Structure 1
Amino acid sequence: MSSPTRLTLTEHSPTYWRVTFDNPPVNLVDGTMTRELDEVFTRAEEAAVKVILFDSADPEFYIAHYDLSAKDELEHVLAHPEEVHPYTALLTRLTKLPLATISSIRGIARGAGSEFLLATDMRFASREKAVIGQFEIGMSAIAGGGPATRLPGLVGRGRTFEMLFGGLDLDGVRAEQYGYVNRSLPDAELDGFVDELASRIASFDLQTIKDIKHFVNIATLRPDAEFKDQMDAFWASVSRPAQQHVARHLFEAGLQQRSEVERDLPHWVTRFQYRPGSDEG
């Protein structure tokens, strides 16, 4: 594996690894990050790692969302509808890794960031500093990384609709109340708690960890095809005038930069809604 450029890998022990997202300015998911994570997963399986902890080097942005600036990616996706998108494949693989995965959430995790969290086994949030949401409806798009499939089992049908229809953020306390995260902790206690839990899991027998993961997955996972369908629907929406209208205005206002747009995205998307028949199409 070559040296990663979007994340840092720390091997605390042979069986306990930490992946720290580090892709300035706001920790966007892109094709490079997806490939680097896939390489980490391969290495972890080969090394018989028992637990991976995911956190962020940026206390303000865990993972802001997917990089929406890659026009060549949209062209490729639309030209090859038979392919499973690499990020969909990555999230499916993450859910099924034969080891334990933990997200330690400090900062903003929206869109693809929220979808990454949902694909991990356990989620723990800073009570004061975690911000989690699916804002895509405000951009006239469906969330592509599978929250419509993963969320109902965690938060229920009604709260899933609240999150996906409303496009609003959850703070750490509300995320715990809804069941999105295992628990929220005071920010000063988060790092110590997740490190202690990860270290404890790493001390146990690997085959037992694999067996637990296997049987829980049988009871809880939906068919993989559902995730491809959602990602296909996302990319189809990106090609429509309504999404392009909102995206254009958001980029002009500071999207994908350290800006108030990224800090309060659910508010900003409502300012630029597309109205068919207006002078601006």
Structure 2
Amino acid sequence: MIFQQFGPSMSDIAYSRIAVRRADGVATVTIENPPVNVLDAALMGELRHFLLSVGEDDAIKVVVFESANPDFFIAHVDMALIDDPHAFDAIARDVPAGLNVFQALGELVRNLPQITIAKLAGIARGGGAEFVAACDMAFGAIGRAGLGQVEALMGIVPSGGAMQYLSTRMSRGRLLEVILGAGLFGAEEAAAYGWINRALPGNELDAFVGELARNIASLPDGVARAAKRVVPPADLMDGFAREEAEWGKLFANPAAERLIRGGLAQGAQTPDGEKRLEVILREIEAADAKPR
């Protein structure tokens, strides 16, 4: 089992980018990495530490992930990493062979013995959307939640499992639309495509997810874990290797650096810029494509 390759169990530490509360067999993880919850090395390290710890906790039956920021779940991987390519080296030393650090984070989520639920009230793009897709279930708030794989607008393809995870949830045509159309999907669209379980009115999301989590946690011991064993996650290792290889070739192209740096210069990773990130990246590409 992949989960067992990640290392020994660890108790929770004093986290600064996530908060964990436990009650009635449910662990709720609240993400708070201002200003927009980018997935940087510090946030990934805390999420990874928690996942390794909770995987060995038999008292926890369900894990719910949410955000303290009403506008953003996890914005995406930190674009500023283009200037710090070794930021994840310490984490990379501890992930299983055949996975990059972003794929390894998703696989930790996907292979937890507990049921995992993403409660999506804001935007999740790129690595944030991949994190949502790695969860067993996801629910989104109508008019507030958004999912997008924006990587194509940066001249690359996703490299954290998006194409592998979504291939188990939607048709090939819809998957290619998600990746190459690079649009932001609202909760109702995402539910129609199978990206999330269902879309709910924003004022009902907390109560619905809370009741579902408590109901699952109150089942007789062993039932939820047995269900995950009976419906095992697909073996996606070959796909992960293809994903990493294609991402590496595209990331080496000058277009990727130009688009990522341009996005940062135009407001990416700020609250206002993130609300229109696709527009920003398309405008950069359009401007660069004009004859000079």
CA contact (8 A) 1:99 1:206 kept: no
Q: Is the 8 A contact 2:118 2:138 kept in 1?
A: yes
Distance 2:32 2:196 in 1: 22
Of 20-29 and 64-73, deviating more is: 64-73
Once the two structures are overlaid, the 10-residue window that deviates more, 166-175 or 206-215, is: 206-215
Q: Distance in 1 between matches of 2:291 and 2:106?
A: 39
Q: CA deviation at 1:75?
A: 8.7
Alignment equivalent of 1:242, drawn from 251, 255, 270:
255
Please tell me the residue identity of whatever aligns with 2:129: S
Partner of 1:226: 239
Letter in 1 for 2:158: A
Change (3 A) 1:233 1:75: farther
Q: Give the number of equivalent residue pairs.
A: 273
The amino acid across from 2:71 in the alignment is E
1:272 aligns to 2:284 (yes or no): yes
Deviations 1:129-186 (A, max 9, x none): 0011101101101011112111122121111111101000110111111111111000
> Which portions of structure 1, spanning 4 or more consecutive aligned residues, are displaced by more than 6 angstroms?
276-279
TM-score if structure 1 supplies the norm length?
0.90
In structure 2, the residue matched to 1:253 is 266
- DSSP-derived class of the 2:51 partner: helix
Letter aligned with residue 84 of structure 2 = D
| Unaligned segments of structure 2, at least 5 residues | 1-11
| Residue aligning to 2:158 | 143
Q: Distance in 2 between matches of 1:277 and 1:53?
A: 46
CA RMSD of aligned residues (A): 2.3
Report 1:132-211 matches (<5 A).
Answer: 132-211=147-226
1:4-19 superposed matches below 5 A: 4-13=15-24, 15-19=25-29
| 1:113 corresponds to 2:135 | no
The amino acid across from 1:215 in the alignment is V
Question: What are structure 1's unaligned runs of at least 5 residues?
Answer: none
- The Cα shift of 1:216 comes to 1.1
1:235/1:258 CA distance change after superposition, 3 Å: farther
Letter in 2 for 1:137: A
Q: CA deviation at 1:72?
A: 2.9
Supply the AA of the counterpart residue of 1:204: L
Map residues 82-93 of structure 1 onto 2, 5 A cutoff. Answer: 84-93=99-108
Q: Which of 93, 96, 102 is the aligned partner of 2:117?
A: 102
Distance in 2 (alpha carbons) for counterparts of 1:235 and 1:278: 29
